[in-house]
A and B are shown apart, each in its own frame.
Chain A
């Protein structure tokens, strides 16, 4: 813990060295932008939200006590910020046409179907109710452990498990409506 680069940078920033915050930004820019992107599916907006989250983190750095992992605190802060930003610009950002847009054309028919399904699933995730969306994004898309995701969401692990279970059920239901392709099998 003593040679944790986040902890060292946080101490330097709190001692008045603003430039030390760049280390934190460089280490966490990719995870934070991706976390925000998975909540809104818009890279421009995701970068805006991630930048605002970094500034908020800088402002509230003294509130991180160094007990838990810095990433858990940073993800929780980013998640809260994205939630309040997205609440103002929703109700729904999922466009069915966009949902079927898969970006880079895959090689074969199977890859095409797979990519189409993946696109539909990810956009359906972005359109889930907040508590389920956040659970899925942190656990599956961000690749955090169950315990770490629960800490970032500030809920017990059991609650997170229940939310993930419910989210999967909702996704199955939504996908069945969105696309017969995704619902088959």
Chain B
């Protein structure tokens, strides 16, 4: 079979007609599509800073906890360095800082997410 024959056969096909209700069926599908409410986008811009802060708080807290348990070798106090009172030892100070940080992060997350839900509603 020559190139011309193939080309002639390929171009000689008659068009088929769509079924009578085809256009109506397409338009029904399009109307359904148009009637669908667009999904509400998750407020990532508002939530992301909170998530980052939570992650940072967790990492810091975890590091502090490990630090408090492992401890560091005590160095000799010198006359020029400030010595913390006994109740404010290095471990406890870090734990307090960690607790304060966690509370701050929790407060921020609650505040940000409340703001986001107010916007959505």
Q: Which residues of A contact B (CB under 8 A)?
A: 18-19, 21-22, 25-26, 29-30, 33-34, 37-38, 43, 46-47, 50-51, 54-55, 58-59, 117-118, 121-122, 125, 136, 140-141, 143, 168, 171-172, 175-176, 182-185
Q: Indicate whether B9 reaches chain A with its CB closer than 8 angstroms.
A: yes
Kindly count the residue-residue contacts between A and B in the assembled complex, taking CB atoms under 8 Å apart.
86
Q: Which of chain A's residues have a CB closer than 8 A to the CB of B29?
A: 51, 54-55
**Chain A, residue nearest B14 (CB):** A34
User: Which residues of B are found within 8 Å of A125, using beta-carbon distances?
Assistant: 10
Q: Look across to chain A and name the residue whose beta carbon is closest to the beta carbon of B34.
A: A18
A47 touches B18 (CB 8 A): yes
How far, in angstroms, from A22 to B10 measured CA to CA in the complex? Answer: 31
A182 to B1 alpha-carbon distance, docked (Å):
7
Q: Determine whether the beta carbon of B1 is less than 8 Å from that of A30.
A: no
Residues in A neighbouring B25, C-beta threshold 8 A: 51
A contact face: mostly helix, strand, loop, or mixed: helix
| Complex Cα gap A21–B34 (Å) | 11
B16 in the interface (beta carbon within 8 A): yes
Of the residues A30, A46, A47, A118, contact of B9 by C-beta under 8 Å: A118
For residue B2, which residues in chain A have a CB less than 8 angstroms away from its CB?
A: 185
Per-position 1/0 for B37-79, Cβ under 8 A of A: 0000000000000000000000000000000000000000000
- Other contacts beyond A21-B27, A47-B19, A176-B1: 20, CB < 8 A: A18-B31, A18-B34, A25-B27, A26-B23, A29-B18, A29-B22, A30-B18, A33-B22, A34-B16, A58-B33, A58-B34, A117-B5, A121-B10, A141-B11, A141-B13, A143-B11, A172-B1, A172-B6, A184-B1, A185-B2
Binding site for A on B (CB under 8 A): 1-3, 5-7, 9-13, 15-19, 22-23, 25-27, 29-31, 33-34
B3 to chain A, nearest CB (A): 6
Closest chain-A Cβ to B107's Cβ sits at a distance in Å of 42
Q: Is B9 in contact with A21, judged by CB distance below 8 angstroms?
A: no
Give the chain B neighbours of A121 by CB distance below 8 A.
Answer: 6, 9-10
Report the minimum CB–CB distance from A22 to chain B (whole Å). 5
Assess the A118–B18 pair: CB atoms within 8 A.
Answer: no
CB-CB under 8 A for A47 and B22, given A30-B15, A140-B7, A172-B1? yes
Contact of A141 with B10 in the complex, beta carbons under 8 Å: yes
Give Cα A37–Cα B16 distance, bound, in whole angstroms.
Answer: 8
Decide if B30 touches A140 in the complex (CB within 8 Å).
no
B17 touches A117 (CB 8 A): no
Query: Residues of B contacting A118 with CB < 8 Å?
Result: 9, 12-13
A26 to B24, CA, bound (A): 9
**Distance to closest chain A CB from B30 (angstroms):** 5
Q: Closest residue to B32 on the A side, CB-wise?
A: A55
